[in-house]
Amino acid sequence: MSDKDDKDKKPKNAFKNVVLFPENKIKRPPRPTDPMAAKKMRAYQAAKFVETATDEIGLDLVRKFVAMGLDTRQDVFTKDLALSMDAIRGLLYRQFSMGHPIHKVVDASVKLRMNPAGVVTARIEYSNITDETSRTTKPINKDVSDDLNNRNHGFFQFTEDFKFDGPEFSDDGVPPFPPSPKDDDDEGPEKA
């Protein structure tokens, strides 16, 4: 049987109640979105994510600290944890290209260096964020300054300017064995 025969056998009113869709695609004009509203929504969602993640990380840390036996009721613990959590919060905000006040502290105090193996290491320079100024001292004279610089760089040279009246060393650098004291009493300590 062919398709032509099938069409002939179907009643003409069989598809009367079927709604046919248009053959062309329905095109709806896109709604204009306010860029400021979209930006605010992204910022709100990012902030909500960051705050939720920071709270979860903080609770996990406190649980681990309690499990390690730390006293989490101390005021200094709370201060240290608050600063640590704010640094984590700043880390997460930076991932979303959003500002946070801790970024200024991190940028001023942390310097990155790459070692010869290509590994990046971070060094915290607290002097950049504290009010304390380190006092620099001047050496007594140039010889002392040069000597200190050499010692700091691993150079050290000892020249004796005195006469040493100690035992003579053998060629292998070992001093002679000292003579043992001769005791007349070989029985040990006296008994009372």
Q: pLDDT digit string (tens) for 39-68?
A: 999 999 999 999 999 999 999 999 999 999
Burial of residue 89 (number of CB atoms within 10 Å: 0-12, 13-18, 19+): buried
pLDDT bucket at 162, cuts 50 / 70 / 90: low
User: What's residue 27's pLDDT?
Assistant: 80
To the question of pTM greater than 0.75 for the whole model, the response is no
Q: What is the CA radius of gyration of the chain?
A: 42
Cα–Cα distances in Å, from 124 out to 113, 114, 136, 162? 11, 14, 21, 46
Comparing 160 with 118, the larger pLDDT belongs to 118
User: What's residue 8's pLDDT?
Assistant: 58
The structure tokens 């001769």 sit at 182
User: What's residue 163's pLDDT?
Assistant: 58
Q: What's the CA gap between 93 and 99, in Å, rounded?
A: 7
Q: Over 90: is that where the pLDDT of 15 sits?
A: no
User: Average pLDDT in the 174-178 region?
Assistant: 55
User: What's residue 192's pLDDT?
Assistant: 47
pLDDT bucket at 78, cuts 50 / 70 / 90: very high
Crossing angle for the helix pair 35-67 and 75-95, to the nearest 10 degrees: 140
Q: Over 60: is that where the pLDDT of 16 sits?
A: yes
Residues, the chain: 192
Q: Over 80: is that where the pLDDT of 146 sits?
A: no
Tokens found for residue 168: 């003579």
pLDDT bucket at 3, cuts 50 / 70 / 90: low
SS3 content of the chain, % helix, strand, coil (to 5): 45, 5, 50
User: What's residue 142's pLDDT?
Assistant: 78
Percent of the chain whose predicted confidence (pLDDT) is above 90:
36
Alpha helices of 68-141 — where are they, by DSSP H?
Answer: 75-95, 102-109
